């Protein structure tokens, strides 16, 4: 009989630590519900002591999301562990995940302790966590660079102290598949009580090996893989859930290992995470990239027509990729909209449906056909709109040739009206192009610190001649760099809204920074 491994998703904890990927509480909850539909065994919902917002988000996930075990991260300090427990305890099944660095460099340079002191910290933390909760995971941070004998001693001691899962993370993405498989296999040989815990792996993708290393750990005997949707996470990211799950499924003949993942929910999870974090998926990304199932070369297309299996090792429907069918038009009613949004993973209250329908009618007036991609953008805009934030009321732009023979040129001018609270504010400005003119006017109204535009991108995100354009901007005020994203059938409107979205996010991040920053694993 094939072995079943545990899928531990950390999209909401490690994934949210991606630079610029902060999620609102409602977005975290929506992702957690989707992870439950996807069938992950464990959701790591956050790092409760890191901020009051994170504590609240983990608490709500524990209260409202049913099915998976809900876990929270904590350092080895008692108050961290207690705070983690207080947030996760509402879930029917909950887990405390505590960690400490075990490599010499982490022990000496980061923790400034001796090996014996760290050993005691690990054992004490696990013992205290077990006094609160039966399900305790311990992570030996940076384990793949740790002294192996020391790692064996730590693993044995934390299992003796009650750890039910022991994670061997490649925190810095340094290992290779061969080394990982051997490390796990040797732990199984040398740690006498190892069969009393599940051994886990948590790989980072700094060398592009996170999925390969995780699969190697499974071959070595690991029973849990920690991963994120789309592979998001610190630096180059984490092991990607969809890659590991689809490899095990596609090569069942080789691995003889199963997961509990309901794979047709993968695409929905991927789109939701990419929409909410603003991190687009690269087109050639394995499994969930836009081109992953596209066949371009004529000879491949010919083969596909004869038999799909000539060039296709997985079926698109296995990951929930259905053709982007024309779904709705102007005459579609509220009921049709609700049905389609439910299919896309959005459960709306009646008030939210009213708001969504208003926005839908506006799009349907401008576009003949409304596609799934349009609806996803609509929902993202709606969830993104919050009280106390700037919003665009209206704008107008005059623009034309900015370089012409003979020297006669247009001076781009933009008039912008923004609103925050009750009173609308208007300003007009010139610029060296229409977008520059709009941004200069917005800067004047917002009157914050001087903003630097780090990056500006424009792309088409839906199908057809009347497609929606999406603008993605990155801005920095010298202290914090963040992003904004918006979509519209008018690219100038998308550009203005994306900039305002980034300014709003910057305000939220400054608020958060005041409440104390998280430590990262």
Report residue 423 as tokens. 């009173």
Measured from the CB of residue 141, what is the shortest distance to Mn ion in angstroms?
8
- Which residues would be at the binding site for Mn ion (CB under 5 A)? 14
- List phi, psi (to 5°) of 129: -60, -40
Comparison of 235 and 295: residue with beta carbon closer to Mn ion: 235
Q: How far apart are CA 334 and CA 493, in angstroms?
A: 26
DSSP type of residue 109: I
Sign, Cα dihedral of 104, 106, 110, 114: negative
Residue 389 backbone dihedrals phi, psi, to 5 degrees: -110, 160
We find the least distance from the C-beta atom of residue 509 to Mn ion, in angstroms, to be 21
Q: How far is the CB of 416 from Mn ion (least distance, A)?
A: 41
User: To the nearest whole angstrom, how small is the minimum distance from the Cβ of residue 227 to Mn ion?
Assistant: 10
Whichever of 28 and 338 has its CB closer to Mn ion, that residue is 28
Return the structure tokens found at 453.
Answer: 């535009």
Please give the Cα distance from 61 to 241 (Å, whole number). 20
How distant is the alpha carbon of residue 33 from its chain centre? 14
CB environment 394-419: b (16+ within 10 A), e (fewer)? ebebebeeeeeeeeeeeebbbbbbbe
Q: Which is nearer to Mn ion, 14 or 181 (CB)?
A: 14
- Least distance in Å: CB of 17 to Mn ion? 7
Return the number of the residue (238 or 482) whose C-beta is nearest Mn ion: 238
> In the bound complex, which residue of the shown chain has the CB atom lying closest to Mn ion?
14
Q: In what helix (H) or strand (E) does residue 100 lie, and over which residues does it extend?
A: strand 94-101
Rounded least distance, CB 376 to Mn ion, Å: 28
β-strand partners of 150: none
Give the nearest distance from C-beta 179 to Mn ion in angstroms: 18
CA distances from 411 to 395, 403, 492 (A): 17, 10, 16
CB-wise, 14 or 54, nearer to Mn ion? 14
Contacts from 90-94 at CB under 8 Å and sequence distance 24+?
Answer: 90/59, 90/62, 90/63, 91/61, 91/62, 91/63, 91/65, 92/66, 93/68, 93/69, 93/135, 94/62, 94/69, 94/70, 94/133, 94/135
Can you name the residues that pair with 58 across neighbouring β-strands?
A: none
Lookup result for tokens 């107008």? 396
Angle between helices 241-250 and 210-220 (to 10 degrees): 50
Residue 481: exposure state from Cβ atoms within 10 A (0-12, 13-18, ≥19): middle
Residue with Cβ nearer Mn ion (14 or 80): 14
Region of residue 367 (left: phi > 0; alpha: psi -120 to 50; beta: else): beta
Gap between the Cα atoms of 178 and 217, Å rounded: 9
User: Directed axis angle between helix 372-384 and helix 266-277, to 10°?
Assistant: 40
CB of 469 to Mn ion, least distance (A): 35
Q: Which is nearer to Mn ion, 9 or 14 (CB)?
A: 14
| Minimal distance, residue 234 CB to Mn ion, in Å | 6
Q: What is the CA radius of gyration of the chain?
A: 25
Contact 45, 61 (CB under 8 A): yes
Based on CB atoms, which residue is closest to Mn ion, 226 or 372? Answer: 226
Other C-beta atoms closer than 10 Å to the C-beta of 330 total 14
| 209 vs 319, beta carbon nearer Mn ion | 209
**Least CB distance to Mn ion at residue 204 (A):** 6
Q: Closest distance between Mn ion and the C-beta of residue 233, in Å? A: 6
Task: Name which of 14 and 443 has its Cβ closer to Mn ion.
Answer: 14
Query: Which CB, 176 or 332, lies closer to Mn ion?
Result: 176
């Amino acid at each position: 009989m094939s072995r079943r491994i545990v899928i531990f998703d950390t999209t909401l904890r490690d994934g949210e630590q991606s630079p610029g990927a902060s999620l609102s509480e409602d977005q975290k909850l929506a992702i957690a519900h989707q992870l439950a539909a996807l069938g992950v065994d464990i959701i790591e919902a956050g790092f409760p002591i890191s901020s009051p917002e994170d504590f609240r988000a983990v608490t709500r996930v524990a209260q409202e999301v049913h099915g998976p075990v809900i876990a929270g991260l904590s350092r080895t300090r008692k108050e961290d562990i207690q705070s983690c427990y207080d947030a996760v305890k509402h879930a029917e099944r909950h887990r405390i995940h505590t960690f400490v660095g075990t490599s010499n460099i982490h022990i000496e340079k980061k923790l400034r302790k001796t090996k014996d002191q760290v050993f005691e910290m690990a054992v004490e933390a696990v013992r205290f966590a077990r006094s609160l909760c039966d399900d305790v995971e311990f992570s030996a941070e940076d384990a793949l660079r740790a002294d192996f004998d020391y790692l064996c001693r730590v693993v044995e001691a934390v299992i003796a102290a009650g750890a039910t899962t022991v994670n061997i993370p490649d925190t810095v993405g340094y290992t290779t598949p061969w080394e990982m498989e051997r490390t796990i296999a040797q732990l199984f040989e040398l740690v006498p009580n190892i069969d009393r815990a599940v051994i886990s792996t948590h790989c980072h993708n700094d060398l592009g090996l996170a999925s390969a290393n995780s699969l190697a750990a499974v071959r070595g005997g690991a029973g849990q893989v920690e991963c994120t949707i789309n592979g998001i996470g610190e630096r180059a990211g984490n092991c990607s859930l969809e890659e590991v799950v689809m490899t095990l499924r596609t090569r069942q003949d080789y691995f003889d290992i199963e997961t509990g993942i309901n794979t047709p929910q993968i695409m929905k999870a991927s789109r939701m995470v990419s929409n909410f974090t603003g991190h687009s998926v690269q087109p050639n990304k394995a499994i969930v990239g836009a081109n992953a199932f596209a066949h371009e070369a004529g000879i491949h297309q010919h083969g596909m027509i004869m038999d799909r299996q000539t060039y296709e090792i997985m079926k698109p429907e296995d990951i929930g990729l259905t053709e982007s069918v024309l779904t709705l038009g102007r005459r579609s009613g509220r009921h049709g909209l609700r049905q389609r949004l439910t299919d896309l993973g959005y459960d709306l209250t009646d008030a939210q449906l009213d708001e969504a329908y208003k926005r839908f009618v506006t799009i349907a007036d401008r576009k003949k056909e409304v596609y799934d991609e349009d609806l996803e953008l609509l929902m993202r805009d709606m969830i993104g709109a919050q009280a106390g934030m700037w919003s665009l009321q209206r704008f107008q732009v005059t623009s034309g040739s900015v370089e012409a023979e003979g020297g006669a040129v247009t001076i781009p001018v933009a008039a912008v009206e923004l609103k925050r609270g009750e009173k609308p504010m208007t300003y007009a400005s010139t610029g060296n192009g229409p977008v520059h003119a709009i941004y200069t006017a917005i800067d004047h109204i917002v009157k914050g610190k001087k903003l630097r535009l780090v990056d500006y991108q424009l792309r088409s995100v839906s199908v057809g001649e009347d497609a929606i354009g999406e603008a993605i901007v990155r801005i920095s005020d010298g202290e914090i760099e963040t992003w904004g994203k918006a979509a519209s059938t008018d690219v100038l409107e998308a550009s203005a809204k994306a900039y305002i979205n980034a300014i709003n996010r910057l305000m939220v991040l400054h608020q958060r920074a005041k409440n104390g920053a998280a430590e990262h694993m």
